[in-house]
Amino acid sequence: MFSTHNFQGSPLTHQPSSPQTWSQRFTGTLHPAIATFNASISFDIALIEYDLTGSQAHAQMLAHTGIITDGERDQLISGLESIRHEYRRGDFCPGIALEDIHLAVEKRLTELVGDVGKKLHTARSRNDQVGTDIRLYLRHQIDEIRQQLGQFQTVLVEQAEQSVETIIPGYTHLQRAQPISLAHHLLAYFEMMQRDWERLGDIYRRVNVSPLGACALAGTPFPIDRHYTAQLLEFQDVYGNSLDAVSDRDFAIEFLCAASLILVHLSRLAEEIILWSSQEFHFVTLTDRCATGSSIMPQKKNPDVPELVRGKAGRVFGHLQALLVIMKGLPLAYNKDLQEDKEPIFDGVSTVKTCLEAMTILMGEGIVFNRERLGMAVTEDFSNATDVADYLANKGVPFREAYNLVGQVVRTCIASGKLLKDLTLEEWQAVHPQFDPDIYTAITPRQVVAARNSYGGTGFNQVRQALITARTRLADNNQTLLKRK
Ligand code: ARG
């Protein structure tokens, strides 16, 4: 991949564009700084493989419809293939003078195959060409991101499978609320990632529509076959309106929205790991595989990985915002503003991918749950108070009345430095005659968790069922992705 640095700012790259880049209408040359300003080659080189594939399909269609001969088609297709090889070898390094990847490829093609190269752009424009390239690129990236989501979900399920009986404090308002199974907590993230997986699948359908053949904005007088190129490029559908085809970036906004939600989810888990690894919580210990030290404080082990994920979320939200603003109020059809879609899309893609990879490693081998500490944590609080109220309610005491009674009990316990389990049966019965010795089992963390056996609750049976469902979903997801290949 070329670094932006090579293309921007360096005096070497301020080559004047040749007047021949444009039609004979131009006699002068572009100001070198404007040439640099105008060019997108420093970043749209990332589209090269898709550009070549799109152009090969276009050449095939031109022959299929009799616009060029089969011999010309073969020359164009093999010339484009040679550029692919040059690029993969690292020998294709177009400079600023060629403006963008589309012009750079056409120029090189003509050098390689001669004048026939100049026929490639018949019945096409860079406007439908760039739209085709981005869609091919995003389609591919969505598949890769969905695969990564699957890997992350797998690690979550693996951790959850080992943690069904590990009880942790559950929080609301970051205050101890009720004890829960650690597996239940981890599976909440599995569910978020499943929605992300499905959302990307839904967006894929709208990415997978061909704009090719819409040309500059209005279609073409040539007898092209847009369905033929769509079929060659495995697009599911073809844009029905040429203006919409070249100016639509809804699918990219949708993608960045889905990417933002992935980062919302990852950053929430990241934040929990940061909290959990603090001395105050001490629920997890970071392994040396994923933790970093301080250059001054020798005792420190820092959660840089989740912190970076939390921070990188901002970049992706920014890209979404950027694209929304680029599109807002843009008149039909193509405008050069649209060139600004690429960097947000590319960086959005790579940020999501690197964050997913890092979080998968972190959850797989970067943290160790301090199970003993977790076990202790849930015995030293009042997170079983609801269960005392539920106990009375089960015996016919109206819930609100039971709730008030338990509130009083908690208050006296706090005043006397006791926990609920420390109260004698006499003390319980003084609160309400319905208390029996079984109150002590009812308020053990294990029983408190097990009792929440309502559908989707943290009860161990529910969690075991949820794990089975999660495994089935993972298998179904894999099947769906495999079918696409
Ligand atoms: N580099 C341009 C982009 O990324 C390609 C399309 C340019 N079309 C044009 N008519 N200037 O949007």
Pocket (CB within 6 angstroms of ligand 1)? 40, 44, 100, 102, 126-127, 130, 334, 336, 338-339
Give the residue carrying structure tokens 């049966």: 425
At 20, is the pLDDT very low, low, confident or very high (cuts 50, 70, 90)? low
Write down the domain spans for the chain. Answer: 32-122, 127-164+179-222+234-377, 385-443
At 211, is the pLDDT very low, low, confident or very high (cuts 50, 70, 90)? very high
Helix (H, G, I), strand (E, B) or coil at 235: coil
Angle between helices 460-484 and 182-207 (to 10 degrees): 20
DSSP at 5: G
The CATH architecture one would assign to domain 32-122 is Orthogonal Bundle (1.10)
C-alpha 247 – ligand 1 centre gap (Å): 11
Query: In 362-459, which ranges are continuous DSSP H helix?
Result: 371-377, 385-394, 399-416, 425-431, 439-442, 445-451
Which of 30, 130, 215, 340 most suits a substitution to test ligand 1, by most atoms within 8 Å of the C-beta? 130
Mean pLDDT for 383-405 is 95
C-alpha 91 – ligand 1 centre gap (Å): 24
Please identify which of the residues 10, 18, 294, 350 carries the catalytic annotation: 294
Please identify which of the residues 3, 173, 295, 416 carries the catalytic annotation: 173
Active site residue 31: no
In the chain, the percentage of residues whose pLDDT exceeds 70 is 96
Provide the pLDDT for residue 22. Answer: 73
DSSP structure string for 116-135? GGGGTTTT--HHHHHHHHHH
Mean pLDDT for 243-252 is 98
At 25, is the pLDDT very low, low, confident or very high (cuts 50, 70, 90)? confident
Closest atom of ligand 1 relative to the 338 alpha carbon: 12
Half-sphere exposure of 86 (CA within 13 A, CB side): 17
| 402 cis-preceded (ω within 30 degrees of 0) | no
Mean pLDDT for 303-326 is 98
Q: Is the pLDDT assigned to residue 16 strictly greater than 60?
A: no
Mean pLDDT for 190-197 is 98
Q: Whose CA is nearest to atom 2 of ligand 1?
A: 339
When the pLDDT of each residue in the chain is averaged and rounded to a whole number, the result is 94
C-alpha 130 – ligand 1 centre gap (Å): 7
Provide the pLDDT for residue 19. Answer: 52
Q: Name the CATH superfamily, with its identifier, for domain 385-443.
A: Fumarase/aspartase (C-terminal domain) (1.10.40.30)
In 3-state terms, the chain is what percent helix, strand and coil (to 5)? 65, 5, 30
Which of 127, 246, 327 most suits a substitution to test ligand 1, by most atoms within 8 Å of the C-beta? 127
Mean pLDDT for 70-96 is 97
C-alpha 414 – ligand 1 centre gap (Å): 69
Q: Which fold has domain 127-164+179-222+234-377?
A: Fumarase C; Chain A, domain 2 (1.20.200)
27-43 pLDDT, tens digit each: 888 899 999 999 999 99
Structure tokens at 38: 């105008």
DSSP structure string for 306-363? HHHHHHHHHHHHHHHHHHHHHHTTPPSS--GGGGGGHHHHHHHHHHHHHHHHHHHHII
